[in-house]
Amino acid sequence: MKKSLFTWVMLCAPWVANAHHSAARFDLTIRDHMVSGIVKEFKPANPHTKIVLEVTDEKGTRDIEFEGHSLNNYYRGGWRDGMVKVGDRITLNAAPTKDGSDGGYALAVTTADGTTF
């Protein structure tokens, strides 16, 4: 019995270890990095929301992927289904990546009508 339990645990360990990842790649000390763009994808989910924005700035126009809080956190913060749709213009307050690459961790979302969650 002990051997089969040990085997089962060892077989499942890689999936458990890979089930969650760290926010270490984001600079969470920067809390006022604003990014505006057109929503290409908005998938509120647990454990993290995925947001893809089409951003136009001095680097040109490109799609940038952001990670965000969980569906539960967004809901508690005021988000409701249908508030953000593909094609909407939104602004993210996002912690940027530490290496300076595109993307970040969405700390807050502001919709075109000024609603923030």
pLDDT averaged per 10 residues in sequence order, the chain, 117 residues: 54 49 86 95 94 97 97 94 97 96 96 95
- What is the CATH classification number for the domain harbouring 103? 2.40.50.140
pLDDT in the model for residue 16: 47
Specify if 48 maps to a domain. yes
- Alpha-carbon distance 9 to 104, whole Å? 34
> What would the two tokens of residue 81 be?
């289904």
CB 39, CB 49: distance < 8 Å: no
Specify if 5 maps to a domain. no
Q: Residue 29 is part of which domain span? A: 22-110
Domain total in the chain? 1
pLDDT in the model for residue 77: 94
- Alpha-carbon distance 93 to 38, whole Å? 15
DSSP calls for 57-77: ETTEEEEEEEEE--HHHHHHT
Specify if 16 maps to a domain. no
pLDDT in the model for residue 94: 97
Specify if 117 maps to a domain. no
> What would the two tokens of residue 75 be?
């809901």
